[in-house]
Chain A
Amino acid sequence: MADAPSQTLKRTPLHDRHVAASARLVPFAGWEMPVQYAGIREEHVAVRTAAGVFDVSHMGQIETTGPQAAALLQRLVSNDIEALQVGASMYGVLCREDGGIIDDLLTYRLEPDRYLTVTNAANHERDFAWFAKHAEGFDAEVSDARDRFAMLAIQGPRAREIVQSVADAPLPGRHTVDARTLVGRRAVVCGTGYTGEDGVEVLLAPDDAGAVWDEVVRRGAAPAGLGARDTLRLEACLPLYGNDLSEDRGPIEGGLGWCCKEDTGFIGADAVRAVRDAGPSERLRPFRLTGPGIPRPGNPVAGGGVVTSGTLSPCLGIGVGMGYLPADRAEIGTEIEIDVRGKTREAVVAERPLYRKERDG
């Protein structure tokens, strides 16, 4: 448990608050980030039953502006960006020519010719270089907006009520985005998240993040770390880049065919179409263990396949995960055997999501 050289790690504007809250800080994608405060399970349950607030300021932003901003994004992102309305958000992937996934991204259309794309922290520099390289020839400008924003995610059944109580106007609905004032600070509020719960994500000037953090915590949002963020997203079957998505596999294999519109001609569309037409050889599937054990990334599956995410589900109390399975063994209900460090663990391919409030809450 050697300490990482903290002087090389970036800190978010909320770092002092994390320290004061006795967070356990860990290196993550070049940042010093809180992995937990009170405890992963307690934070997880807080988000499922009330509200939690996550500092996700490590995530990057790329701003694309200009008359051909939409045309450029249409070329880069797999989804139909030209159909995106002002004030709406759209999920998509960035692909290489061969269909390998460079990143998965959420793009917001803030103004007619102004888009903001949120990147994964570990991929941000590479994404921005990719954007800049392909911007040549378009009447559009891309700029690295990461240092202009801190980002908070307030998630859970009480999240909207809490944020609404510090807002100047009704919050934008699910999958929409608008400027609001929160605690007197200018913010971009987005009806998005990564937990399977309702809630918002908020972009703020770095100096304004602390005031909003303090106020939503005071009003009942529990500080929640990257540990709970991971267990929440896994129960919701939301893929994590670096675990479930990578350059080695394409979006069809990863279950993201729904956000790929090959007719838009995005980079990699031909490769994606070929896989869609032929059918993928493997598919990303959620599964749950039927006995003891906790699956972990890298565990092999008997007969082919590999676990890419795994944990003990705090809400279900059993080992759950996602992994790539041969297409002919990926049907819901298929029994699989996972080699968890030498022990065979029985599991069954499950439907998405692994946790559903009406059923499991």
Chain B
Amino acid sequence: MADASYPDDLLYHSEHDWVRIDGDTATFGVTWFAQDALGEVVFFDPPDVGSTVTKDESYAEVESVKAVSDVIAPLSGEIVEVNTALGDNPEAINDDPYGEGWMVRVRLSDPSEKDALMDAKAYEASLS
């Protein structure tokens, strides 16, 4: 498992999700802190492409050997792609949470919602 890191080019939600915004779409995933707290991820249950996600509400589940946890949407929109590779390789969420461990891509319904998110510095400060 990699060392703790919180890339500067991402935005963060207090429920330990990250967002990479690219125009009117965004990629979601969970932070290093989240995957460390979960332990080894053994199952990722993705939502369906075309379904809507709502900021601050659960859109997927990740499971470790011990427990299941909701993944909270940092922003609202429609899912346009899911990371199907996590089906066979859920441990990518541990090994590379900001890369191979990405979860969904979303067409944002209200890009201004991002103003409520934290930058890396603020998120990291919230953890201590």
Contact = CB atoms under 8 A, between A and B. Distances in A.
A210 interface: no
A227 interface: yes
Contacts of A333: none
Contacts of A36: 39
Contact of A292 (B37, B39, B43, B64): B43
Interface residues of A, number: 19
B61 A341 contact: yes
B43 A41 contact: no
A40 B43 contact: no
B42 interface: yes
Nearest to A231: B65
Contact of A40 (B39, B45, B68): B39
A294 B40 contact: no
A13 interface: no
Nearest to A227: B66
A1 B43 contact: no
A36 B39 CA distance: 9
A324 B43 CA distance: 25
A93 B124 CA distance: 50
A289 to B, nearest CB: 11
Contacts, number: 40
B63 interface: yes
A80 B45 CA distance: 48
Nearest to B69: A1
Given A294-B63, A312-B63, A341-B61, A39 B68 contact: no
B43 A293 contact: yes
Contacts of B45: 292-293, 343
A24 B68 contact: no
Contact of B40 (A39, A293, A341): A39
Nearest to B94: A39
A347 to B, nearest CB: 15
Contacts of A231: 65
Interface in B89-119: none
Nearest to A230: B66
A293 B64 CA distance: 12
A20 to B, nearest CB: 19
B39 A294 contact: no
B86 to A, nearest CB: 12
Interface of B: 37, 39-40, 42-43, 45, 61, 63-68, 87
Given A24-B39, A40-B64, A343-B45, 18 more contacts: A1-B37, A35-B66, A36-B39, A40-B40, A40-B65, A40-B66, A227-B39, A230-B66, A231-B65, A292-B45, A293-B43, A294-B42, A311-B65, A311-B66, A312-B42, A312-B43, A312-B65, A341-B61
Interface of A: 1, 24, 35-36, 39-41, 227, 230-231, 292-294, 296, 311-312, 314, 341, 343
